[in-house]
Chains A and B, each alone.
Chain A
Amino acid sequence: MNRSWKRFVSNRGALIGGVVVVFVCLVAMTASLIAPYPIDQRDQKLTPPSAAHWLGTDTNEKDVLTWVIYGSRLSLTAGSLSIVLAIFLGVPLGAAAGYFPGAVDQVIMRSIDVVLAFPAILIALLVMAALAPGWPAVIIAVGLINIPIFARQIRATTLTLRSQDYVTAAVAAGATTRHIFFWSLLPGLVGPLVVLATLGLGSAILEVAGLSFLGISGDPTVPEWGGMLAEAKNDLSTSIWPAIAPGLAISVTILGFNLLGDGLRDALDPRLDHGK
């Protein structure tokens, strides 16, 4: 652990990613304290950046900075909940497929192959169509498209761990399947899972913003970065600032999660060369 931590702090990209992620999380948690205006306050339409409105106002007379700050809440929450859903379903499936070769593995992995035979956006759109547009549907859709990613990775790690001597010894000593899973396999799965969840969170935020940008996530009165961009797109010929701030917010947040995820992977896997 100590060596992993040292590898992590010596990786500049990982540190930058970590700082960005912590910053975005802090902004989301303290949104109501740091936002310059109440969320429902309206001023003038499409005013450029000024001392009163640092990032200007949008077409609905809202302060862009206030909405970007509040927008971090929904983006992070929806992204996190969908990853929790993906972990909740993907990890047991992947672990079962890896631990029980044969019929169980075949059934789970072939089903996952069928899901992977569809483009992610198609699955998301089908779920959105089936559940009727809204935030719960977005979370379920993004969670579902991430399940195969978690299941496949966890299966691969479980297969590797299962052939380790200490697991064989536990089986030989008569340990129950539950004991082996919780005490021998799970600790080995935590590292890859943390990396996968961090990288997955970045892509989940992107997918949430994408669905929101398409206008199928539901309530446009709730601040969310993708929805803000979609709204700002219609006024590009007259004002660019309502689009720049939410776009940068999404990009920087995803960049942060990607850097942090890559750094964690390098830190937790000593075989990886930092230069590669």
Chain B
Amino acid sequence: MWSFLFVRMLQSLATVAVAVVLIFVAIRLLPGNPALARFGQHSVPARVTAEMAHQGWDRPILAQLIDLPGELLRGDLGVSFFHGDQVAERLTETIPATLELSIAAILLAVPLGICAGVASALWRGSWPDYAAMTFALLGVSVPVFFLGICLMTIFTSMPTSGRVAPTMISQFHTDFFLCEAIFTGRFALALDAVRHLLLPAVALATIPAAVISRITRSSMLEVLSSDYLRTAKAKGATLWRIVWRHALPNASVPIVNIAGFQVGMLLSGAVLTETVFNWPGMGRYLVTAVREQDYAVVQGGALVIAAMFVTANLLLDIAYLWLDPRIRTQS
């Protein structure tokens, strides 16, 4: 098992390394050069040259690539073309916002999706099944940005912009607003953070919840027809025990698989959700950078997202090992 984990971690590191090189080289191979693309074809040549020198992008690509590991280890992701601030610093401020939003969405989506899928499988062909599957179909069809707009319109009493009320921001010492408020026992602040978080998290949770419910349903249907469950029923086990003790653990590998995949997908959804709700997270920062053609930020943000995505997949593999003894034995 340990050798499997070691190999898997090496693979993850290799994937991140390939991603780093690809992003790095792709941005430098833009037609013209990034500063020219940023300032436009009719910009003053001296300005373009100065910006390229300022970024250190006027050196040969190979020389820049050799320096890259050192820069990354020092946490140096470059300077924003547009705003002149350190990319790494801005990312450190925005990542906690994205993480809090994504974790809240997972905490909503996983239980909701599993409960809907289990209910749907248990009462197959009756109204809970139809209701859950209609929810699942709508969940994968309604775009997250339209759902966000609908939620903002329906729940007008809820805050629809930012992470906390602007007057409260100064009371936080870290960028993990909700966690900090809870752990320091400042419940008024925590309540305000939850009120701000709720609508974006619901919007972001819908697609994963819908997908998880569909997979849970089909996985549970397969397990529910097994002989060992018929035996459990014959022995008089309660429905609760049959579902939660016997059926769900055996149906869990495909559910964890799709749930883990959806965690990765949350990063995509977060970009749109953050834009709808003016959530000051990494996704919105990256989109603004793309719009402004701020390549230093695009590069830094892309590296961090790729690293987060690969880490999520690695954690998913570890979850498999924990859940399924067969995978432990084989690996």
A119 near B305 (CB under 8 angstroms)?
yes
Nearest CB of B to A179, in Å:
37
A to B CB contacts below 8 Å, 25 in the list: A113-B15, A117-B18, A118-B309, A119-B267, A119-B268, A121-B268, A122-B302, A122-B305, A122-B309, A126-B302, A132-B37, A210-B272, A213-B143, A214-B287, A214-B290, A226-B143, A226-B145, A233-B149, A240-B153, A243-B149, A247-B143, A247-B149, A251-B142, A251-B143, A255-B137
Q: Which residues of B contact A259 (CB under 8 A)?
A: 137
Measured CB to CB, the nearest residue on chain B to A145 is B268
Assembly CA distance A268 to B328 (angstroms): 37
Taking a contact as CB atoms closer than 8 A, the residue among B37, B146, B306 that contacts A122 in the complex is B306
Q: Residue on B with the closest CB to A128? A: B290
A255 to B302, CA, bound (A): 31
Question: Using Cβ atoms and an 8 Å threshold, which residues of chain A touch B30?
Answer: 130
The one of B124, B145, B283, B290 in contact with A213, judged by C-beta atoms closer than 8 angstroms, is: B145
Quick check: is A114 within 8 A (CB to CB) of the other chain? yes
A125 near B: Cβ within 8 Å?
yes
Distance in angstroms from A141 CB to nearest chain B CB is 11
Query: Restricting to A110-135, which residues have a CB under 8 Å from any CB of B?
Result: 113-114, 117-122, 125-126, 128-130, 132-133
> How many Å lie between the Cα of A215 and that of B143 in the bound state?
16
Q: How far is the CB of B40 from chain A (nearest CB, A)?
A: 10
User: Which residues of chain B are near A215, meaning CB under 8 Å?
Assistant: 287, 291
1/0 contact trace for B254-267 toward A, CB 8 Å? 00000000001101
CB distance from B51 to the nearest CB of A (A): 16
User: A229: CB under 8 A from chain B?
Assistant: yes
> Which A residues are CB-close (under 8 A) to B49?
none
**Chain A residues whose CB sits within 8 angstroms of the CB of B298 once the complex forms:** 125-126, 129
Q: Are B26 and A130 in contact (CB under 8 A)?
A: yes
- Known contacts A117-B19, A255-B137, A275-B125; is A213 also within 8 Å of B291 by CB? no
How long is the Cα–Cα vector from A239 to B124 in the complex, in angstroms?
Answer: 42
Please tell me if the beta carbons of B218 and A276 are within 8 angstroms of each other in the complex.
yes
Which chain A residues (214-241) contact chain B, with CB distance < 8 Å?
214-216, 226, 229-230, 232-233, 236, 240
The residues of B that contact A55 with a CB separation of less than 8 Å are none
Does B27 reach chain A (CB closer than 8 Å)? Answer: yes
Q: Closest chain B residue to A118 by CB distance?
A: B306
Q: Mark B142-168, 1 if CB is under 8 A from A, else 0.
A: 110110011011000000000000000
Interface residues of A, dominant DSSP: helix
Question: For residue B152, which residue of chain A has the nearest CB?
Answer: A236
Nearest neighbor of B305 in chain A, beta-carbon distance: A122
* Min CB–CB distance A69 → chain B (angstroms): 18
**Closest beta carbon of chain A to B199's beta carbon, Å:** 13
- Among B22, B27, B140, B276, contact of A258 (Cβ-Cβ < 8 Å): B140
For residues 29 through 71 of chain A, which have their beta carbon under 8 Å from a beta carbon of chain B?
A: none
A62-88 vs B, Cβ < 8 Å mask (1 yes, 0 no)? 000000000000000000000000000
Q: What count of chain B residues pass the 8 Å CB interface test?
A: 48
Taking CB atoms and an 8 Å cut-off, the chain B residues in 18-33 that contact chain A are: 18-19, 22-23, 26-27, 30
Could you tell me which B residues sit within 8 Å of A by CB distance?
15, 18-19, 22-23, 26-27, 30, 37, 124-125, 137-138, 140-143, 145-146, 149-150, 152-153, 218, 221, 264-265, 267-268, 271-272, 275-276, 283, 286-287, 289-291, 293, 295, 298, 302, 305-306, 309-310, 313
Residues of B within 8 A of A133 (CB): 290-291
Task: Verify B264–A216 contact, CB threshold 8 A.
Answer: no
Is there an interface contact between B125 and A114, defined as CB atoms closer than 8 Å? no
Beta-carbon contact of B293 and A117 below 8 Å: no
Report yes or no: B287 in contact with A250, Cβ–Cβ below 8 A. no
In the complex, whether A93 has a CB less than 8 A from a CB of chain B is: no
CB distance from B37 to the nearest CB of A (A): 7
Q: How far is the CA of A268 from the CA of B268 in the complex (A)?
A: 32
A119 vs B15: C-alpha distance in the bound complex, in angstroms?
13
Report A195-210 residues with CB < 8 Å from chain B CB: 202, 206, 209-210
Given contacts A119-B309, A126-B23, A128-B290, contact A114 B15 (CB under 8 A): yes
Residues of A within 8 A of B124 (CB): 275
- A residues in contact with B302, CB < 8 Å: 122, 125-126
B291 contact set on A, CB distance < 8 A: 133, 214-216
CA distance A226 to B295 in the complex (A): 25
Give CA–CA (A231, B158) in the complex, Å. Answer: 22
With a CB–CB cut-off of 8 A, which chain A residues contact B142?
247, 251, 254
A117, B306: Cβ atoms under 8 Å? Answer: yes
Task: Establish whether residues A251 and B145, one from each chain, have CB atoms under 8 Å apart when the complex forms.
Answer: no
In the bound assembly, the distance between CA atoms of A25 and B271 in angstroms comes to 30
Inter-subunit contact B265/A251 (CB<8 Å)? no
| Smallest beta-carbon distance A37→chain B, Å | 24
Q: Is the beta-carbon distance between A258 and B137 smaller than 8 angstroms?
A: yes
**Distance between Cα atoms of A232 and B149 in the complex (Å):** 9
Interface string of A245-266 (1 = CB under 8 A from B): 0011011001100110000000
Inter-subunit contact A247/B150 (CB<8 Å): yes
Query: Quick check: A117 and B310 within 8 Å, CB to CB?
Result: yes
Q: Assess whether A214 is in contact with B150, with CB atoms less than 8 Å apart.
A: no
Question: What residues of chain A lie closer than 8 Å to B305, measured between beta carbons?
Answer: 118-119, 122
A119 and B141 contact, CB distance less than 8 A: no
